[in-house]
Amino acid sequence: MKIKCLAIDDEPLALKQISAYIEKTPFLENAGLCQSAFEAMEILKNNEIQLMFVDINMPDISGLDFVKSLSVRPQIIFTTAYSEYAYEGFQVDAIDYILKPINYATFLKAVNKAKNWYELMQKNAESKAHKEETLFVKSDYKIVRIHVDDIRYIESANEYIKIFLDDNDVITTLLRLKNILEQLPADRFMRIHRSFIINLTKIKAVDRSRVMMEPKTYIPVGDQYKDDFQAYVDKNFIV
């Protein structure tokens, strides 16, 4: 996946040079060249930009003030002919600061920092998503791994819960429904009774105040949870 870049500089020759460097770098994609912050604002409204090259000294609004005004910021690499702005650049979390005239080696060093940061953020997001899809629970003196998508429903049994899986296995563990519900994806799991959590993707049918999870397995919908469950059904009902 390429990193989408936007370059902002009031000097046409500087823009041309940065554009040439972007085209030369395999992991970068040129999403726009702007001679003012106002042009950049329009591009940012309609495009997802991951990295911006911003000249600090520009008419009307400086590159620093422009970056500070953004509520959502891409990664920033400042470009300028004046080294005294370096400290201010890093105060707004710029990933790097390049002094003009820019050579390709300096440019590549800066964009590699952006690439490394972007890859790290992607790995963290993937790791978090993977964590959300897997649970570990203690059962019969063992630590059991459960894939979230394999869960059909969960039943409370006094101080324990029973986790019913697609392979007809049942895992019993010392937990409360409230605690395990907090670890499950809210878009797929719902508590519909004081004793039951169901996987919404495993519903076979809804029969009055009961939910069929599999043939001949009916789970009651409690009065306390009826409105939320009905709202889910209504939202996904096709007329």
Condensed to tens digits (0 to 9), the pLDDT of residues 101-153 reads: 999 999 999 999 999 988 888 877 666 655 558 889 999 888 999 999 899 99
The CATH number of the structural domain formed by 3-131 is 3.40.50.2300
- Amino acid identity at 112: N
Q: Domain 134-235, CATH 2.40.50.1020 — does that match?
A: yes
* CA–CA separation, 126 and 232 (whole Å): 28
Where do the domains of the chain lie?
A: 3-131, 134-235
Quickly list DSSP for 3-50. EEEEEE-S-HHHHHHHHHHHHHSTTEEEEEEESSHHHHHHHHHHS--S
DSSP state of 222: P
User: Is residue 91 pLDDT above 80, yes or no?
Assistant: no
Least confident of 75-79, 121-125, 234-238: 121-125
Provide the whole-model pTM: 0.55
What backbone torsions phi and psi does residue 56 show, to the nearest 5 degrees? -75, -45
Condensed to tens digits (0 to 9), the pLDDT of residues 171-230 reads: 999 999 999 999 898 889 999 999 999 999 999 999 888 999 876 799 999 999 999 999
